[in-house]
A = this chain, B = another copy of it.
């Protein structure tokens, strides 16, 4: 392994000079900088991460805590993770992947050992056990998702309340007066993951305002579950002409079932999905949808956490505004045509 000392010798300068070239914390003459950079290249030098962390007490690592489950919104999680990783690199940081498995203890371990300078937590529940710990370590941290009490914390999330409202508005505008919502699996609500509850609240509030009837049903992501849920919805509200789907795994089953029952999309029923754009365009009908901006969420999380690492203070709650894209799955309600 090439060391900084060897680079210094090769370039004919002192070790500190090389260090300052690397960090830019002192001005260095163009000539010297040039020479040092040349030596670095020739020798193929890479600063030793451990030594650097020890001396500077900054590891240049961000910890990303992911849920362990693989049954829910996988593509979203994955895209967030990749966005976090690439954005972190743009800020000269690396990403440490933690699973929920260790639980809150992982926070203590990572912070206590100085392994990571900052943390990003995904899949935050309303009353998350990791939050108290996080708050009193005082380490920079950003949540993706919003807990019941976000005070003293920085959070990023899609504005799910507005998302729900937007879906209802779109359908109401098209003349739909009976809307059914295919929600996330019941387990998601039981876990009190904020986004699901907020979406539901947004849907309900707007529906009430607009005088639209709304039926909200949780639903697992399997074909069989969707079949049951759909049957119960149509039984209870035969006049349903608009669907909002939040569980992305239920989208394909729903479309397939509607087709099977001879209900044409969008002629007979309209469907609005809440899902990543990629899912919306791959379905059998190109779906009108509100995008889950996974990439954007990951990117902003890193940017906010880096700002805190640089010393910026103050808690902050950043809600990304939802955008609805009209595609082929929504149209005027049959009665209104």
Contacts and interface: CB of A to CB of B under 8 A. Distances in A.
A46 B95 CA distance: 20
Interface string A56-72: 01010100101010110
B99 A97 contact: no
B50 A112 contact: no
Nearest to A106: B89
Interface residues of A, number: 61
Contact of A50 (B59, B66, B70, B79): B59
A259 B79 CA distance: 32
Contact of A52 (B2, B50, B78): B50
A256 interface: yes
B59 A54 contact: no
28 contacts: A1-B114, A44-B108, A46-B113, A47-B113, A48-B113, A49-B114, A49-B115, A50-B50, A50-B57, A53-B54, A54-B54, A61-B96, A68-B82, A70-B79, A70-B82, A74-B74, A74-B78, A85-B97, A85-B101, A86-B101, A94-B98, A94-B115, A95-B96, A95-B97, A96-B96, A222-B281, A222-B282, A223-B285
A282 B50 contact: no
A112 B46 CA distance: 5
Interface string A251-277: 011011001100000000000000000
A253 to B, nearest CB: 6
Contacts of A166: none
B283 A223 contact: yes
Contacts of A282: 221-223, 249
A70 B222 contact: no
A162 B102 CA distance: 37
A284 B54 CA distance: 55
A30 interface: no
A109 interface: yes
B89 A78 contact: no
A75 interface: yes
A74 B71 contact: no
A221 B278 CA distance: 11
A31 interface: no
A4 to B, nearest CB: 12
Interface in A215-253: 221-223, 249, 252-253
Nearest to A64: B97
A89 B102 contact: yes
Contacts of A320: none
B46 A50 contact: no
